[in-house]
Amino acid sequence: MSSNIDFKALWQQQEAMAKPDITEVIKKAKNLKHKTRNKLILLNIVLIATVLLYVFVPGFTSHTSLITTKAGGVLVIFAIVLFLAASNRLLVDLFSGKPEADTFAYLTALLSIRKKQEFIQTRIMNLYFLFLSAGMLLYMIEFVRKMNSVWGSVTYISLFGWMAIVYFYIKPRTIKKQRSELNAAIEKLEAINNQLIQTKDAE
């Protein structure tokens, strides 16, 4: 069976009472793609700015003497580059897809987006936080050594306490919301697709 279905023609054959609002479903799915894309672009800008700040702004590396500081900076940059490489693959899908041209292809694109998004949310994010934490630990050694024990402890507790909150609380909640929105859009499109296929088979 060909997957290239004339959805508009088939939809016009449905009884008026049986028609879900396909236009509204497509609109919501499209808006979700745009929102996800814009958030990812903003995050990319912030991460790139962080790398540029470390590499080009005097004071971040030029006045450091310990190898741990430079090693920590390298790990932080590696974590950011790793995330950027994975997220930019997702951005390609987020910029593509024209629902008004081929609804089935748009559904396929959303499934691809979900797969890549889940990969980023699990493996990539875990590696990102691993390298970021190790990098920050090494990077801060030189500066914490110049503090007394109390302020040094406060610095590390504050830094890694915040990272723990992000990893164990904010990240799971954000992922849950993103998955819920995307899964809802996919389920509605799948329902429409299945109904239209059944209509075609019944002809």
pLDDT for res 138: 92
pTM, two decimals, is 0.77
DSSP string, 26-71: HHHHHHHHHHHHHHHHHHHHHHHHHHHHHHHSTTSSTT---HHHHH
What letter would DSSP give residue 52?
A: H
CA 45 – CA 64 distance, rounded (Å): 26
The model's pLDDT over 134-164, given as tens digits with 9 standing for 90+, comes to 999 998 888 888 899 899 899 999 999 999 9
The model's pLDDT over 98-119, given as tens digits with 9 standing for 90+, comes to 655 556 777 888 888 899 999 9
| Best-predicted range by mean pLDDT (69-73, 132-136, 190-194) | 132-136
Task: Please provide residue 196's backbone torsions phi and psi, each rounded to the nearest 5 degrees.
Answer: -70, -35
Indicate if the pLDDT at residue 58 is higher than 80.
no
